[in-house]
Structure 1
């Protein structure tokens, strides 16, 4: 963990280094991913099954590849009642939030008499990657599948690494209405969704987080399919004054540090004594966490405490452009309203980032690695597309045609010009 004092003469270069810090996964995975994608594209299911055995250590045959409806029901039923209720509660809130994002179609006639507009239609088929491994992630299922369902996506295909499917994941799939689940993970799962493999039909877009192999695979298949984003390590900035409980703020910082040794947790406060109390609480709480080793590495290598006037925090946050930012201050709206670059903001002392991860209803799939400067979190807009339309009668075309001819000729495109000129009654060959 590093400390920064806003009044220090070396603050600016040190802060700039923090902003530009690279936290990429160090694995060199590109060559492996390239080979996996090429093999799946040419061999199909045989390559998917082979790589599953090689990378996941699980032998899967084609008949066992798809999770059956009975398995989904049985898994959901095996989920503890209080967890099922929490999943249903979260799903309802996520559904309600994303339903409010639904845009309207439009149709209008402009001053030239041209009828124009746009309409929104859902993507036809979407693949959702749900990580396996160390933990179960029912929230990942909900945050990706529920908005897709709200958008009206016809087919939602979920992939997750082979092995025992956690009951909570199956309960979340049931709550989200996902009925197509495949036991395949890693780059080979991304390839199967992009190109198709045996019974796994290709999709139009792939969403959901994964490890370095999954991220590299998504980058390579972009263009064949759409993707949501290239997720990096988790990030949180907590802006807090001394009126907070130090243990609350420490827990908030650790809520992201426990995700990944490369995660980044940053405290910004105007009180040096309070900062020291939070630091002490972080160290004490790390010792109590089952994820303590990961959180300790994250806090040690990428954590930061910045002592700065609160009125300077919006500018600091904007430069960091974090995935999450909390404003645990007396007037959070006053500071938050000045921030342009953040994936999600949590306002007030009782709005920890953790509620956004699970039950607030807003989406927890957010831009990382300063991508909040130019992108947004996952939403219904990731699962729909806009088609424009133009309708002209003869009178309306007379208003648009001459300028069309002029611009086409200026660009040296005679067929474009002729297309308009003929309708204007200009039967001769256009210039150029």
Structure 2
């Protein structure tokens, strides 16, 4: 516990220093400013002590990882923005409230799920068909006509490519392939030591990135692999946080030594502070002009949506950038129903994690947990929970994990003595933890 506290405190200190001495001077034109809040600092320190007790010491199932990432990517950055960046006390409380709800609702024994016969085979067949089916569609639709793998020019090509290869039902399929199916397959192949197949899959990742120009296409497979690699021996939260600190230090070193801010912009500004900065704008705008109450999504048949553009574009127009001001489930929950919306989203997310926990036995825990790492980070930083479940594939992920984790029945059933074959039909070198 002491080790975990020291690591969490180190990460928070790193955030503070980076925000004051890098984010504000370099990226201040995006709205970042230095505004010290003494009361916020005292409350954040007290919150930090409680946060250590709520963050799992060992990460053995998806809900453990969710709490660890929530602490590192939302609670701590929001603290920094409240203490040094002009954030409100509501911003300090919101992610912490969500963490407490998820912690309480995911405690206790997991559900017991009936396995699907030949489930792993169904998973493999579906994944192969989805990947190559969408690849064929993308190529046939002109995806190679504006092919680009220069990460500095993605915004020059993204809208053109979106119109060509992400329209209608294929908009869903593209997101599912990029953000769920390929990252999950990458973790499985790495865990099974099928490195040739993994290299082939990563070539496809590069091809899909060139046709879609979404940076997450490149990043998500490595997020899952990285989490699996860290967890496979002694899965502790402080190791995951230390690994993340190492990435941040490298990105900052590159920025300061070479004056190339690309990596720091993505890993530090975008992944750490953008979500919190957008929360401030969501809080101000929807607190003043009224909440949406899901009138743009699940309740659109009953409530009129009062705007002509999406909520993220509304905030982009409001702050003057004109771009999509995407934020995660905390900000979007507040956008819909204030604190009550955050509570609803936290309860739904806890139920989802509890379902995934049921597949994280002693053999499957590491791999199932690693599979959900990327989608969770995407949910925390970029997308509304409702949209995450359909357009971005969280519901599909639960189905695929259920299929891939199902016991293969060969000759006799489990009750009569057959040994269960977990994810990868027993080919993964699992370690009991």
Find the structure with the greater CA-based Rg: 1
Could you tell me the TM-score, scaled by structure 1's length?
0.25
Comparing both chains, which one has the higher relative contact order based on Cα–Cα distances under 8 Å and sequence gaps of 6 or more?
Answer: 2
Could you tell me the TM-score, scaled by structure 2's length? 0.25
Structure with more of its chain in helix, by fraction: 2
